[in-house]
Amino acid sequence: MTPPNTLRLTVIQEAPRSRHLERNISRVGEGIAAARGTDLIVFPELFLSGYQTTTLDEIAMPLDDPRITGLADCCRSTGTALLAGFVERGPGGYFDAYLAIDRDGTIKNPVRKTHLFGTEREAFLSGDVLEPVSLCDTKIGVLNCFELEFPEVSRTLVLRGATLLVAGSANMHPYERDHLIASSSRALENRIPLAYANRVGSESGHSFCGSSRIIDRDGSVLAALNSVETGSVTADVEVGLRSEGVIDMVGQRRPELYES
DSSP3 helix / strand / coil % (the chain, rounded to 5): 25, 30, 45
176 classed as catalytic: no
Residue 182 Ramachandran class (φ > 0 left, ψ -120 to 50 alpha, else beta): alpha
What's the distance, Cα to Cα, between the start and end of the chain in Å? 32
| Residue of 45, 120, 147, 203 marked active site | 45
φ, ψ of residue 235 to 5 degrees: the values are -155, 155
φ, ψ of residue 44 to 5 degrees: the values are -70, 175
- Residues across the chain: 260
| Residue of 145, 149, 203, 209 marked active site | 145
| Residue of 113, 139, 147, 209 marked active site | 113
Distance CA 224, CA 235 (A): 10
Residues pairing with 166 in the sheet: 142, 195
Residues pairing with 86 in the sheet: 97
113 classed as catalytic: yes
Burial class (CB in 10 A: 0-12, 13-18, 19+), 127: buried
45 classed as catalytic: yes
Which residues carry out catalysis? 45, 113, 145
